[in-house]
Chains A and B, each alone.
Chain A
C-alpha cells in the first residue's frame, strides 16, 4: 500500500499541484498509483491504444506537485508540477 495520508492534516495553504498524464505512453505498471504520497491516482477503467489502463487523477485536489509519480514512471508517461514554478523546480 502507498504511504497513507492518515497523518496528514488538511492545511488551507497546502501547496497545489497538477499532474499531467500522457495516456498513450502508459503501460499500466501501477508505480505512480502506488507511490503517490497523497493518493491522487488510480488506474482508469478505460484503456489506451495499446490496451493498458493508464492512471487518472481521482483526487486531483490532493496533488501537491511533488513529482514522485514522474520519478517512478518507467515510461515517462506522467509528471507532476506546482504551477507558478518551472516543472524542473518541482520539489
Chain B
C-alpha cells in the first residue's frame, strides 16, 4: 500500500524544503503547475528534462527541482540553455526565471533566442520588480508604481512581454496569472510539447516588496485582484496587452504558430549545402 503523496513531491528536492520564498509569493504556485504539466506528460523523459534558471527569486526554482538543473549567472539562462540544447538536441530544456533576469539584463538573449526559434520553453514569472535584491523596479514595473530605485514612482513605460516575444518570432506565447492554475498547467504542457521558442509569462504576487510598497495588500489580496481584473482573450491584439498600474490583465494563449526550430533550420540548410558530408552533432562525447 503506497503512501499518498503530494503530486509535486517527487519533483522536489525535499531536503531543501522549506524554500526561501515569502508567504503569499506566487512562485511556488507556478511550480505546482509545472509539476502538473509534467505529470500529465508521460512521454516526457524526466532524465532529459533540464531546467535552467538565472538569478532572482524565480531563479531559485532550479535549485528546488529534482531534475538536472542549472542556476547560472544573472540574465544568462537562455544562452546557457542554447549551448545545452545545441550540444545535445535530445535534451528538453526549460528556462525558468524572472522578469528582471530574462528581460532586463537578459533582454538581448531573449530576443535573439526568439528570433532563432531555438527549441526552448521559457517560463517568465513576472512580479514587476527585482525581488531578491529588495524590490527595485524593472522593465516590467507598471508606470507610476514605486520601487526602491524609483521612490517617486516609475515614469518609464514597461515592456509588453507577449508582444515583445511574438514580435521577435516566438512560436508560442501565453500569459496567465498565478490565479489561473489550471490554464497555466495546460499552457506549460502545451509549451513543453511544442518545438521552437515557447514563452509563458506568469503574473505573480510579490507581497513583501512590490505589493507592500505600493500598498496593494498581501498575496491573497493580489490573487483576488487577478481573478477580478483579468480577462481571457486568446485573440487579443498583442499591442493591447500592456499592464497599467492596477490595470486590467489580459490573459490567454496569444500565439501558437509553426516555423522551423533553429536546429531544424540548421540541419536543413547544412544538408542542402553539404549533402552526405554534413555531420550533425552526435549525442555522445
Contacts and interface: CB of A to CB of B under 8 A. Distances in A.
Is A–B contact present in the complex under a CB 8 A cutoff? yes
B89 interface: no
Contacts of A81: 4
B27 A74 contact: yes
B24 interface: yes
Contact of B6 (A30, A35, A52, A76): A76
A76 B8 contact: yes
Q: How large is the interface on B (under 10, 10 to 19, 20 to 34, 35 or more residues)?
A: 20 to 34
A67 to B, nearest CB: 7
Interface stretch (B31-39, B150-158, B159-167): B31-39
Interface stretch (B15-23, B71-79, B130-138, B243-251): B15-23
Interface stretch (B95-103, B219-227, B271-279): B219-227
B17 A71 contact: no
Contacts of B6: 20, 22, 70, 76, 78-79, 87
A6 interface: no
A79 to B, nearest CB: 4
Q: How large is the interface on A (under 10, 10 to 19, 20 to 34, 35 or more residues)?
A: 20 to 34
Given A73-B29, A74-B29, A76-B32, A29 B8 contact: no
A4 to B, nearest CB: 14
A23 interface: no
A83 B6 CA distance: 13
Given A28-B23, A30-B220, A31-B223, A70 B28 contact: no
Contact of B23 (A27, A67, A72, A86): A27
Interface string A60-91: 00000001101111111011010000111010
Interface of B: 4-9, 12, 17-19, 21-29, 31-33, 36, 39, 179, 181-182, 185, 218-220, 223-224
Interface of A: 18, 20, 22, 25, 27-31, 34-35, 52, 67-68, 70-76, 78-79, 81, 86-88, 90
